[in-house]
Amino acid sequence: MATNPIDRCWRCKKNWAKNRKRLAKCVLGFGHRTHGGSKGKYYVVTDNSDHDVLNPKSGTLRHAVIQKRPLWIIFARTMHIKLSQELIVQSHKTIDGRGADVHIAYGAGFTLQFVHNVIIHNIHIHRIVPSFGGLIRDSEDHFGYRTVGDGDGISIFGSSNIWLDHISMSECHDGLIDAIQGSTAITISNCHFTHHDAVMLLGASDSYSKDQFMQVTLAFNHFGKELLQRMPRCRWGFFHVVNNDYTHWKMYAIGGSMHPTIISQGNRFIAPHDHNAKEVTYRLYASESEWKNWIWRSEGDVLLNGAIFRTSGPLSPPHLKFNKKEMIKSKPGAYVKRLTRFAGTLNCKKRIKC
């Protein structure tokens, strides 16, 4: 049942609930050094309220994520949490929704700002709205003034070693996931995205050259119903898009500017019926004389219903010097439906293989 190498690492264990921290050994891709809160104690969220963002109540998710020590955060039961302000997460945290049906919805989203080593796993994030800003506590011993939030599902700002896995995301006011301002060492895997316009932004500004160091892996995700564009939209950095299933888009799937390197391997791209949206790639931010030198490669992809992936760059591109954990070895695109079969949140139950 566990059909890809990340899932095979932990999902076939009946005792997953007694050994939750094994998950931290399973991440691959550019975020492979992320171990989250595996060196810390468990914190059980027992209260789904979020009334006081300056002095969060013990037992709430907000109280858990502002602790400065490493923590592995789990949930006592099924919860629907409406965040009254953006949830500012400290470093060395795992937010693990396995064993409960956890929804973050109808309020603000997650903010990972100038932090590192964070895992978010098995959570529903949907219908995120802009936050009003104001005074918000971001750690045990500090609070500060925040401006109005954009309404991103997950905002990654100047952060590194981030792993997002088995998340179901839809209908956020701005992006589902944004990674900007020098963020790097990120893996986004086994997620299911639906019902959204601008899905994923990796690099927010053509003028912010520090994003040239950004490295992001997208693996085993399903880009599903009612998506328009930005799966992802990239600037500057290096992006490995491997064994994802693109079953819907209305404008384009992968776009970019500022000469990003995009290596697409073993994905399935099913073009929409609209004859004006058959092309997977989008580079209209630059002239052809400029983008023809960008390294955009397609290897082992399956292109269906007239889908077109326009490659670019030198005919003999430079050899990629990454180890096997950084660059996930792709399967042929024909295997993608099976590899992504369980994308999104899982219905995990104790003493049963997840």
For 167-199, write each residue's pLDDT tens digit: 999 999 999 999 999 999 999 999 999 999 999
Q: Rounded to an integer, what distance in angstroms lies between the CA atom of residue 275 and that of residue 272? A: 8
Mind listing the pLDDT tens digit for each residue in 147-164? 999 999 999 999 999 999
Instruction: Write down the pTM of the prediction.
Output: 0.97
User: Cβ neighbours of residue 353 under 8 Å, at least 6 residues apart?
Assistant: 1, 11, 12, 13, 14, 16
User: Cβ neighbours of residue 287 under 8 Å, at least 6 residues apart?
Assistant: none
| pLDDT over threshold 70, residue 1 | no
Q: Length of the chain in residues, anyone? A: 354
One-letter amino acid identity for 236? W
Mind listing the pLDDT tens digit for each residue in 202-222? 998 999 999 999 999 999 999
Taking residues 341-349, report their average pLDDT: 96
Active site residues: 230
Mind listing the pLDDT tens digit for each residue in 228-287? 999 999 999 999 999 999 999 999 999 999 999 999 999 999 999 999 999 999 998 899
Q: What is the pLDDT of residue 318?
A: 73
User: Cβ neighbours of residue 35 under 8 Å, at least 6 residues apart?
Assistant: 24, 25, 117, 119
| pLDDT over threshold 80, residue 2 | no
Q: What is the pLDDT of residue 203?
A: 96
In CATH, the number for domain 5-339 is: 2.160.20.10
Residue 37: pLDDT band with limits 50, 70, 90: very high
Radius of gyration of the chain (CA): 19
